């Protein structure tokens, strides 16, 4: 495998790992396998630590394709708890307010979901990687500082109600880059005259890559360890065999 010219890994990121954790784990295994000190490794589309699912990791010159790869349509399966909110819109923070849900029916949920299909405006969560005056919004939010983010225009192609066990619902969302499913959970709760926060999120597709095409991080690490090592003609740095002779 020529990791310098570029290789692509389709990873099923587990809950509890940041996107950076996943990249770091693969990079450390790659540089060890290649016998080099550094190698460009990046990912196309961040997943929150509490989310799992499709994550595309690329190496070497393939990192130039990151913008192209992360522009692909995303699909998510999201579990939303109605009747309560959290500052982060998910389980990273504790519930800060509760609201009535007795008035919510399956029919009202289905009607509200229709409002979020098409081109919409969405205010990103304060606990997000968006920058405010050069600082990540989540850094300010976790310090208790006020965060004011401008709404962004995005596209939601499909929303399907998969399960409705009120006050919990499970939805499938097909959307454009930049959509925050946590913010969607907040907005759906508000539209239902209640509250809402995300309790589980799984990304099942990025562009043409679905979850069935992905491997676990341990499987990807094992693939690296057992792969053949190739160096492109233009590469002039250290090689694995050089390290073996030292």
Catalytic residue IDs: 48
> Do the beta carbons of residue 217 and residue 109 sit within 8 Å?
no
Name beta bridge partners: 126: none
Strand intervals (E) in 48-151: 51-59, 74-82, 84-85, 97-98, 118-122, 131-132, 135-136
Q: What is the DSSP pairing of strand 168-175 with strand 97-98? A: unpaired
List the beta strands (DSSP E) in the chain.
Answer: 8-13, 41-44, 51-59, 74-82, 84-85, 97-98, 118-122, 131-132, 135-136, 152-165, 168-175, 196-206, 209-210
CA 141 to chain centre: 19
**Quick one: how many helices (H) and strands (E) in the chain?**
7, 13
Residue 218 CA to residue 130 CA, distance in Å, equals 31
- Contact 173/159 with Cβ under 8 angstroms? yes
Residues paired with 152 in a beta bridge: 122
Chain-centroid distance, C-alpha 84: 23
User: What is the rounded distance in angstroms from the CA atom of residue 82 to the CA atom of residue 184?
Assistant: 12
């Amino acid at each position: 495998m020529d990791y310098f010219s570029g290789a692509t890994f389709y990873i099923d990121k587990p809950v509890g790992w940041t996107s950076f954790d996943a990249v770091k784990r693969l990079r450390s295994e790659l540089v060890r396998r290649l016998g080099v000190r550094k190698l460009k490794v990046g990912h196309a589309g961040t997943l929150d630590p509490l989310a799992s699912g499709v994550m595309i990791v690329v190496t070497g010159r393939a990192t130039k394709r990151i913008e192209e790869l992360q522009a692909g349509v995303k699909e998510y399966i999201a579990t939303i708890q109605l009747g309560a909110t959290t500052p982060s819109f998910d389980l990273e923070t504790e519930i800060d307010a509760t609201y009535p849900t007795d008035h919510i029916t399956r029919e009202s949920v289905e009607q509200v979901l229709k409002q979020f299909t098409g081109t919409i405006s969405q205010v990103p969560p304060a606990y997000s990687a968006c920058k405010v005056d050069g600082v990540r919004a989540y850094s300010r939010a976790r310090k208790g500082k006020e965060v004011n983010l401008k709404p962004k225009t995005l596209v939601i192609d499909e929303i399907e109600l998969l399960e409705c066990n009120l006050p919990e619902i499970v939805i499938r969302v097909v959307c454009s880059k930049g959509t925050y499913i946590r913010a969607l959970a907040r907005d759906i709760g508000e539209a239902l005259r209640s509250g809402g926060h995300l309790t589980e999120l799984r990304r099942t597709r990025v562009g043409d890559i679905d979850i069935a095409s992905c491997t676990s991080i341990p499987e990807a690490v094992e693939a690296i360890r057992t792969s053949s090592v190739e160096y492109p003609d233009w590469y002039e740095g250290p090689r694995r065999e050089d390290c073996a002779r030292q």
